Structure 1
């Protein structure tokens, strides 16, 4: 009996089943191989960990041994340090007992060495003399007791300094001229106060052992030739700087009149130009008014002879031969006085304008200088006063120049105006006199005419 009518399908099913079994077998073998590989890898890692653990234990033991050795060495050093401290304390006490008061002596020596060092740095006594600067510097900077040789050198330096401070002696110094060249120059040392050559007082540099001339010498200052008689014991009046060059350095920084004018800048030059123009106008007008006043005084002595002067021209207006009313004569005289007044006051208005303009220009210079000062402060700050000195100097100089220019111009304007007013008063007075004379003449003629009428009527 045939229970499976499809033999080909059965065969295919069997083939499929066999293939599935084969694939499963292959997967099982692969998994088994991977397990074996993982097991061998784990064994290798365990072996590495075990080896590393052994190495770390060995390292730990080595470090523990080193720690114990360092601890023992530290304990040994601590005990040695304690012993050294005790020994040092005993030695210091022994040194203190043995030195006694030498510490105080050492302090006095250092103090005197410092004072002598400062004296030599600011004095000219080292010019042409033996230098003790290095030995004195060693004593000053020393932290131990000075040696006998150093004390002897300090004593010689003090002795020479005391003697040199009271001597006037010639010497030869290295002089640096304006071109930067070094030359040997004969000089006279005035104790410890100054060093004088033919150039005047010299600025002495103790460190470099060289001299330079001061930028500015005092008036009637000494020179080598003028002080030569002092070497022979003669007594001469001379200018001595007791500050050892401080006052001479300040003198070099003191600005001269030309320096102050330069500090005024363009505004200062304009003010000086206005002052010059105003003074020229005042001079010309002053001479003119003086000459005019002299001519008027001469004309007053000879009123009958009118000359070429303001009063003469006033007198010439009046002509006794002409028949003229008082009103006409008065108007003509007024016209002449006005013309003469304009001539007398010519230039005075310009003088007054310049006098008013000068302070305004000074104020302009002040504002300009302060603006420059604020600009400098903005750029460099206000820590150094010298940085601001230029602008402030310009501001103050222009203000002073404006006031200086205004005062003489105002004074000249006032004087010249008074002279012109005086002359105008004389002219008006003479004009009034002429009008009065003409009025009296007309009155007399009118009275004579009135007296003649009754006589004619009676006839």
Structure 2
């Protein structure tokens, strides 16, 4: 039991330590409690301040809303009053204007027509001083004023007067190189503008002129305009459409343009036509000369010549008198066949070209239609100008084929007829020579038989 005092001491020490620790913990808790209470009071004061500010802001916004509502009511009343007043004023305006509205419609319509006339008229060179007034009336939405009506009247009078005048002016001209130069031109009323070469295409928007691509003959020039201004009577071609017909004349294709539209096939057809015409011309001259030589030979059959078929047949006859009639007939037939071959030389080629030309025209037609369908596939059929190339090729080649075939067929027929006529003469003469030889042999045989 020696350890009993020791355990007593340890127990007392533990109890004193526990009491001390408990006292410290209570003090710490009280401190934190005080701090938390102070923090809560601070936050509560902040909340109270914020609540006060929000209350004041709410009151201010409520007052502002009330003010806006009162202003809205005032504006609504004002709008209603203005609508009533506007309706009364419109009715008053309708009653006061009366038929002036119809007058304004007529004036505005006349101004629009005159404005369109001024846009396309050559009087813009020197006789459109009231163009701005006309534009004001066209764009106006209310009754025109007296100065505007006066300006419209003056514009109409100016155009009427200008339509009967021939004046000379200096204008801006665009030459073939695209350069703008000053040039002297004459205005023929309201119908056209001419220079020393003919009509000019006037652009009123740019106040410039350029020459038309194609112009007819006997057109007025600057010199003719001066004669007209002097009072002389002159015969000339006038374009009443003010350039529309001349522009269409520029679109009218020439012969070279039409031939170019035929393409390669068209060129081949023209080449065949040229070859056929050369053959026809050569053979025609040859057959004509041969016919003349045969006629001359028929007048002198006793002296045969080698420069014509009949002379060569007569030569064969003279050389074959020593043979029998059968042998002489065969010799003459051989000579006639040789001459016929010479007479018909080139006619078979001419017939072939005449038959080949329309076939090539048909080939060009099919080729042009194929090209047209390809264009339609790529670009559609909305624009006919896109398809014009293929259709033009198809039609031009067909026409060229027919044009080439007709003269070639006609030439072949004429030349064949001439060759047949010459062959008939040769056959007739050959048959006559055989008959003459047979009669001569018969006359020689009869005395011999009588003597026997």
Alpha-carbon deviation of 1:437?
1.2
Report if the CA contact (8 A) 1:121-1:207 is conserved: yes
Give per-residue Cα distances to partners, 1:107-139, cap 9 Å, x unaligned. 121111111111111211221234332221121
Mapping of residues 389-404 of structure 1, within 5 Å: 389-404=388-403
Give per-residue Cα distances to partners, 1:297-353, cap 9 Å, x unaligned. 111111111112100111112138843222111111110010000000000011111
Alpha-carbon deviation of 1:396?
1.1
Report if the CA contact (8 A) 2:313-2:332 is conserved: yes
Report if the CA contact (8 A) 1:314-1:333 is conserved: yes
1-structure distance, mates of 2:367, 2:224 = 48
1:327 alignment counterpart: 326
2-structure distance, mates of 1:100, 1:321 = 122
Deviating more after overlay: 73-82 vs 400-409: 73-82
* Counterpart check, 1:316 vs 2:315: yes
Unaligned stretches of 5+ in structure 1? 1-39, 454-459
Give per-residue Cα distances to partners, 1:26-82, cap 9 Å, x unaligned. xxxxxxxxxxxxxx9xx9xxx9xx99xx89x97999888777665554443332221
Q: Which residue among 205, 208, 213 is the counterpart of 2:206?
A: 208
2:257 alignment counterpart: 259
SS at match of 2:91: helix
Mapping of residues 280-429 of structure 1, within 5 Å: 280-308=278-306, 309-319=308-318, 322-429=321-428
1-structure distance, mates of 2:321, 2:96 = 133
2-structure distance, mates of 1:134, 1:227 = 30
Task: Give the TM-score of the pair, scaled to structure 1.
Answer: 0.83
1:37 alignment counterpart: none
SS at match of 1:195: strand
1-structure distance, mates of 2:63, 2:388 = 77
Mapping of residues 54-453 of structure 1, within 5 Å: 72-308=70-306, 309-319=308-318, 322-453=321-452
2-structure distance, mates of 1:186, 1:290 = 61
Alpha-carbon deviation of 1:154?
1.5
2-structure distance, mates of 1:61, 1:396 = 93
Report if the CA contact (8 A) 1:128-1:172 is conserved: no
Change (3 A) 1:60 1:384: farther
Change (3 A) 1:443 1:94: same
Change (3 A) 1:73 1:337: same
Task: Give the TM-score of the pair, scaled to structure 2.
Answer: 0.85
2-structure distance, mates of 1:449, 1:341 = 40
SS at match of 1:240: coil
2:16 alignment counterpart: none
2-structure distance, mates of 1:168, 1:353 = 63
2-structure distance, mates of 1:91, 1:406 = 85
Report if the CA contact (8 A) 1:241-1:248 is conserved: yes
Give per-residue Cα distances to partners, 1:264-319, cap 9 Å, x unaligned. 11211111111111111101000000000001111111111111210011111213
2-structure distance, mates of 1:322, 1:435 = 10
Alpha-carbon deviation of 1:363?
1.4
2-structure distance, mates of 1:129, 1:393 = 44
SS at match of 1:126: helix
2:23 alignment counterpart: none
Report if the CA contact (8 A) 1:128-1:173 is conserved: no
2-structure distance, mates of 1:155, 1:145 = 16
Give per-residue Cα distances to partners, 1:215-234, cap 9 Å, x unaligned. 11112222112332111101
1:9 alignment counterpart: none
Unaligned stretches of 5+ in structure 2? 1-35
Report if the CA contact (8 A) 1:197-1:224 is conserved: yes
Deviating more after overlay: 185-194 vs 68-77: 68-77
Change (3 A) 1:132 1:376: farther
Change (3 A) 1:292 1:146: same
1-structure distance, mates of 2:320, 2:96 = 133
Give per-residue Cα distances to partners, 1:9-33, cap 9 Å, x unaligned. xxxxxxxxxxxxxxxxxxxxxxxxx
